[in-house]
């Protein structure tokens, strides 16, 4: 009986890993595909337009900033939930603890060097090497933990960006009135060459994501 339960559990774990790998592959395909595959950006925007065009039309072209605000709420919720349930937060906490220990050891080493305490210096160096060795052992898993939510998030967020880019173009949305900034061309370039609609999306999404993170008890650090 125990053996059958163990086999069933192993099969469940294999299916889970297979699904995770498939979703990550899809996420990275979307993430990098828009750069190397001609027409993918337009295709993603058009496909999502079936759902989002009616939303934008209902809100009104003249109030497109509100549409972006709504989308930032949706993606903020999705992003936060993905991070909460796909990342190993115990592992992240352990990594932070190791980093804290290394910083404390660095301070102690500086003090030992200042006083020329060679015995203490040797002891601290050995302790530091042990901590670094432990941290290196799961560095690959740490990288995977950080990349996994990025891939999942890209499945939704990147197509939404492609849709906004497409809709701003086909709807010929020109100048809009930004709060505190006045009238700006929505597609005009802002900081780092990004259009103003990307800036507005970030202004909306960052505080919304922080509120959602606190609401569901998600740790503040990645």
CB atoms within 10 A of CB 178: 15
> What pLDDT, on the 0 to 100 scale, is given for residue 38?
65
Instruction: Using the predicted structure, report yes or no on whether residue 221 has a pLDDT greater than 50.
Output: no
pLDDT-based confidence at 69, cuts 50/70/90? very high
Give domain status of residue 183, yes or no: yes
DSSP structure class, residue 195: B
- How open is the CA angle 194-198-200, to the nearest 5 degrees? 125
C-alpha of 185 from chain center: 28
Q: What is the mean pLDDT of residues 147-175?
A: 82
Considering its fold, how many domains does the chain have in total? Answer: 1
First and final CA of the chain: distance in angstroms?
41
Residue 222 domain flag: no
pLDDT for res 222: 42
State the residue for tokens 């595959």: 37
What confidence score (pLDDT) does residue 42 get? 80
Determine, yes or no, domain membership for 125: no
* 109 belongs to a structural domain: no
144 CA to centre of own chain = 13
Residue 91 placed within a domain: no
Please compute the mean of the pLDDT values over residues 13-24 and round it to a whole number.
66
pLDDT of 26 reads 65
Whether the per-residue pLDDT at 21 is higher than 80: the answer is no
Asked if pLDDT for residue 98 goes beyond 90, the answer is no
How far is it, in rounded angstroms, from Cα 216 to Cα 82? 12
Which pLDDT score is estimated for 3? 66
**Residue 198 lies in domain:** 2-83+140-215
Kindly report each contact of residues 107-114 with a partner whose C-beta sits within 8 Å and lies 24 or more positions away, as own/partner.
none
- Among 21-25, 115-119, 175-179, the least confident range: 21-25
What is the Cα–Cα distance from 136 to 143, expressed in whole angstroms? 11
pLDDT digits (tens, 9 = 90+) for 179-206: 877 888 888 887 777 888 888 898 888 8
Whether the per-residue pLDDT at 211 is higher than 80: the answer is yes
DSSP code of 189? B
Q: Does the structure show a pLDDT above 90 at 166?
A: no
Task: Quickly state the pLDDT bin for 46 (edges 50, 70, 90).
Answer: confident
Residue 193 lies in a domain: yes
Residue 37 neighbours by CB under 8 Å, 6+ apart: none
Question: Would you say 135 and 57 are in contact if contact means Cβ atoms under 8 Å apart?
Answer: no
Domain assignment present for residue 168? The answer is yes
CB atoms within 10 A of CB 115: 10
Mean pLDDT (the chain) is 78
Does residue 92 form part of some domain? Answer: no
């Amino acid at each position: 009986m125990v053996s059958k339960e163990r086999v069933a559990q192993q099969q469940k774990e294999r299916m889970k890993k297979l699904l995770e790998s498939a979703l990550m592959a899809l996420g990275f395909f979307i993430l990098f595909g828009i750069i190397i595959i001609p027409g993918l950006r337009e295709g993603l925007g058009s496909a999502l337009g079936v759902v989002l065009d009616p939303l934008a039309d209902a809100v009104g072209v003249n109030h497109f900033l509100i549409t972006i605000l709504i989308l930032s709420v949706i993606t903020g919720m999705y992003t936060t939930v993905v991070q909460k349930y796909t990342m190993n937060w115990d592992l992240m906490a352990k990594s932070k603890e190791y980093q804290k220990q290394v910083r404390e050891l660095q301070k102690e080493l500086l003090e030992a060097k200042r006083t020329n305490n060679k015995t203490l210096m040797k002891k601290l160096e050995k302790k530091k090497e042990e901590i670094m060795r432990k941290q290196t052992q799961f560095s690959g898993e740490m990288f995977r933990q950080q990349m996994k939510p990025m891939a999942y998030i890209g499945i939704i967020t990147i197509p939404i960006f492609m849709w906004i880019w497409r809709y701003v173009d086909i709807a010929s949305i020109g100048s809009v009135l930004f709060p505190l900034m006045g009238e700006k061309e929505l597609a005009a370039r802002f900081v780092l060459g990004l259009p103003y609609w990307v800036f507005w999306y970030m202004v909306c999404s960052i505080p919304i994501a922080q509120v959602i993170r606190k609401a569901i008890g998600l740790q503040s650090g990645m």
